[in-house]
Chains A and B, each alone.
Chain A
Amino acid sequence: MNTDDMLAALSRGEDETLRRLHARLADAAAADGLLDVAYRTIDSPVGRLLVAATERGLVRVAYVDQGSDAVLGELAERVSPRVLERPASLDTVARELDEYFGRVRTVFDLPLDLSLATGFRRNVITHLPDITYGSTATYADVARLVENPKAVRAVGTACATNPLPVVVPCHRVVRSDGTAGQYVGGAEAKRTLLDLEAAA
């Protein structure tokens, strides 16, 4: 028996143990108040979503078909590096999203942490839920809504950088020519969401 064989024997059965220990760590961290950002991923009709929450509420919803590393990096940088996957912290979020995609929910009832949106962008994000389920508004409408009618482009930027897509309905903001326009999750995802709400 050589050294490598012995070291291989030390790592036998490791994956299952590490999964179990990770879950235990996340629970202990939450209990000790050390878990600043908890996240999980959710499969949805518009692709895989990463959802993250702080103690204050849902802080991030992200389309992550290209991987979650960049999103987690941004959370670590801008909120706190104490980030761990802990699905249980986001059970309510997962349930409400399921209900939304299953057309049984039209309004989200979740505490939100808007700390990733600042200034004018935050003002826009705060007003987007005023556009009711199944309806749309133009970028110019939203600019008027936030009492800054000339800031049409800035409204576009605020929507494009919405840290909470789907839950904060930036997909309901469309172009004045009637086409759907750009979307953080891609034009197809925007179409899917608008169709889903129109069909209800």
Chain B
Amino acid sequence: MTEPFEQIVAEHGPTVLRVARAVLGPDDADDAWTETFIAAMRAYPDLPEGSNVEAWLVTIAKRKAIDQHRTRTRNPVPVEVLPVADSAELSATDPDPAERDDELWGALAGLPRKQREAIAYHYVVGMPYAEIATLLGNTESAARRAAADGMKTLRATYARERRDLEQGASS
């Protein structure tokens, strides 16, 4: 590819950040984002013209997210479910807590890994389920089901937590 890499970062940086945040949570997402673009920059001059840059970056991001997840967990065996993020702890490291919706992160982190990824790839990136299936190593219908199930849980959890929060604030 001969498009300036600066343009690649400007164009796809936000998507990669959203995917990393949805899959890893906002704090680990920063490292995954940087590592994704460093790896991409290394390989970039050899990427054939006309490649789907977004899909390429998401594939790298997925690999980086898995690496990250492995190093962050004490047990090197990949696990299916991340512990639900502690909102208090998240807020403590956030440079701008007002900008962050911890309930949503909590709800996302509570989903099984494949559901989180299916949501990120489908709703954030807009990938077709056939491509998502390749990334997840399952079938198109399984990928579709993972996204739908995840979204359903997310809506329910998120709605409940917001309701609790509003009731807490008004009482």
Contact = CB atoms under 8 A, between A and B. Distances in A.
Interface in B74-89: none
A109 interface: no
A85 B5 CA distance: 10
B44 A13 contact: no
Interface residues of B, number: 37
Residues of A in contact with B, size category:
20 to 34
B5 A77 contact: no
Interface of B, helix, strand, loop or mixed by DSSP? helix
A82 B30 CA distance: 21
Interface stretch (A23-31, A111-119, A158-166, A172-180): A23-31
A32 interface: yes
A85 B6 contact: yes
Interface in A1-47: 1, 3, 6-7, 9-14, 16-18, 21-22, 24-25, 28-29, 32, 34, 39
Interface stretch (A68-76, A89-97, A147-155, A184-192): A68-76
A76 B42 contact: no
A83 interface: yes
Given A81-B4, A81-B5, A14 B34 contact: no
Given A1-B158, A6-B104, A84-B41, 16 more contacts: A6-B158, A10-B22, A11-B14, A13-B99, A16-B96, A21-B13, A21-B30, A22-B13, A24-B34, A25-B37, A32-B42, A39-B6, A72-B4, A75-B4, A83-B5, A85-B6
* Smallest CB-CB A-B distances: 5 pairs: A13-B99, A83-B4, A76-B4, A72-B4, A9-B101
